[in-house]
Amino acid sequence: MTDQDILARLWVREDGALDAITARYGNYLRSIAGNILGSSEDAEECLNDALFKAWNAIPPMRPENLRTYLGRIIRNLAINRLQASRAEKRGGEGVALLRELDDCIPGGVRPEAALEEKELASALNLFLSTLPEQKRSLFLRRYWFGDSMAQIAQRTGKSQAAAAMALSRLRRELKDFLKERGYER
């Protein structure tokens, strides 16, 4: 079943639409949530929440890329769940993962934050577009998909130390790239 078929089923509120999403993207979505949360049970709950959110959003939304749209939903849900659990306890791979980018991404809440977030997202996309495929893949595996250093090392054939060093250099490049565009920590 294609994404367009799934979207058409969601559009008319057909019962099997969520099963079709799970069949096509379930493992992908569980992987994103599991890498962030470190728990298959929490990842499964996030999957259910993501399906519910997609069901409620489509219609009126009609995403151009269903896989990316669902990935963004589950990633945000997993990060929110992680932050909520972080209030109860400190630590964990997911928290460390988010902290790695703290020095690169400026923060702060101001009235113009929504516009600044959009501009920052554009700058991040521009940065990623300047990277060679291997570096872009490494960056996305770590900071979008939440892969562990062991998973990245296995995927790239590098040692964990070499992968960590490459990511450190990429974060430094990102920080310099954003600084040149007026984003400072």
Q: Residue 163 is part of a domain; what is its CATH number?
A: 1.10.10.10
In a domain, 185, yes or no: no
Three-state DSSP state, 91: coil
Phi-psi region of 108 (alpha: psi -120 to 50; beta: other; left: phi over 0): left
Three-state DSSP state, 106: coil
Question: Diameter of the chain by CA atoms?
Answer: 50
Question: How many residues are recorded in the chain?
Answer: 185
Which of the listed residues 89, 111, 128 is the one where a domain comes to its end?
A: 89
pLDDT at residue 8 in the model:
93
For residue 65, the domain's CATH number is 1.10.1740.10
In percent, the amount of the chain with pLDDT more than 90 equals 46
Judgement on whether residues 70 and 124 belong to the same structural domain of the protein: no
Residue numbers of the domain that contains 43? 3-89
What is residue 38's DSSP assignment?
S
This prediction has a pTM of: 0.61
Q: Predicted confidence band at 110 (pLDDT cuts at 50, 70, 90)? A: very low
Among 33-37, 41-45, 103-107, 125-129, name the one with the lowest average pLDDT.
103-107
Give the chain's count of helices (H) and strands (E). Answer: 9, 0
What is residue 12's DSSP assignment?
T
Judgement on whether residues 145 and 79 belong to the same structural domain of the protein: no
**Dihedral sign, Cα of residue 143, residue 146, residue 149, residue 153:** negative
CA 22 – CA 29 distance, rounded (Å):
9
In a domain, 28, yes or no: yes
- Beta-carbon contacts of residue 108 (< 8 Å; ≥ 6 apart): none
Judgement on whether residues 7 and 84 belong to the same structural domain of the protein: yes
Residue with tokens 């991040």: 124
CA 85 – CA 29 distance, rounded (Å):
20
pLDDT at residue 99 in the model:
61
Among 13-22, 62-71, 88-97, name the one with the lowest average pLDDT.
88-97
Q: Are 120 and 127 in contact (CB under 8 A)?
A: no
Judgement on whether residues 8 and 80 belong to the same structural domain of the protein: yes
In a domain, 96, yes or no: no
Query: For residue range 53-68, what is the model confidence (pLDDT) as tens digits?
Result: 999 999 888 888 999 9
In a domain, 108, yes or no: yes
Judgement on whether residues 80 and 13 belong to the same structural domain of the protein: yes
Which of the listed residues 44, 65, 89 is the one where a domain comes to its end?
A: 89
Tokens (6 digits) for 122:
């554009």
Mean pLDDT of 146-162: 89
* Count of structural domains within the chain: 2
Which of the listed residues 63, 89, 115 is the one where a domain comes to its end?
A: 89
CA 144 – CA 132 distance, rounded (Å):
17
